[in-house]
Amino acid sequence: MSLRQCHPVKKFSHNSQASLGFVIRDHLGEVILAGLNSLGCCTSILQAEAWGLLEAVRGAYSLNLSNVMIEGDKFAVINTVNKIWHIPWKIDNIICNVGMELLKFNSVYVKHCFREANRAANFMAHRGHAVSSLCFSFPPYDMDFSLLIRKDVLGWPPD
């Protein structure tokens, strides 16, 4: 069985608009689905991270994956999903939805990763400012994203 990775992330633009981005990789590190969305100005960083996780989990399920490894760079969200921390009230409903969605998988592993390991999801989140609803991208990807994916797979340091 191979593990799949979901990398949710949030970003804020200069005008305080939140957005999310995520990537789903196969066991070889190849991106098989990426998503992005603009969330508006009334969304906190914590809410944007949680919303990104929910959309990533839904994306993984839509691909009929049965085993997932979720990596995220926001301790509060990761520790909440792992039931290490109590759910902050601002993300209670979102995290409850994540929990329900995760029940659909055979196995789930959720862990923290450093922001530097989340570059592809950050890239998608930056692009999320330009859309008005949830968008998905499938291979083949444009040159900029493809280059970033290659660097990630090869373990190149950030630019």
Within a domain: 22: yes
**CATH classification of the domain holding 11:** 3.30.420.10
Q: pTM higher than 0.85 for the full model?
A: yes
Q: Is residue 87 part of a domain?
A: yes
Q: pLDDT (tens digit, 0 to 9) for every residue of the chain, 159 residues total?
A: 334 455 565 555 556 688 999 999 998 888 999 999 999 888 888 999 999 999 999 999 999 999 999 999 889 999 999 999 998 888 999 999 999 999 999 999 999 988 777 888 889 988 998 999 999 999 999 999 998 888 877 777 766
In a domain, 99, yes or no: yes
Q: Which sign, positive or negative, has the C-alpha torsion 76, 16, 53, 70?
A: negative
In sequence order, the 6+-apart residues with CB closer than 8 A to the CB of 33 are: 23, 24, 59, 60, 62, 63, 136, 137, 138
Is residue 54 in some structural domain? Answer: yes
Q: What is the DSSP letter of 87?
A: P
Predicted pLDDT of residue 17: 83
Q: Is residue 113 part of a domain?
A: yes
List the structure tokens of 118. 């989340």
Q: According to the model, what pLDDT value does residue 115 have?
A: 78
Over the range 113-149, which residues count as b (16 or more CB within 10 Å of their CB) and which as e? Answer: eeeebbbbbbbbbebbbeeeebbebeeeeeeebeebb
Write the CA distances from 102 to 54, 105, 120, 123, integer angstroms: 9, 6, 23, 25
Q: Is residue 159 part of a domain?
A: no
Structural domain span for residue 150: 4-154
Q: Residue 134 corresponds to which tokens in the numbers above? A: 């949830």
What is the domain count for the chain? 1
Q: With contact defined as beta carbons under 8 Å apart, do 53 and 69 qualify? A: no
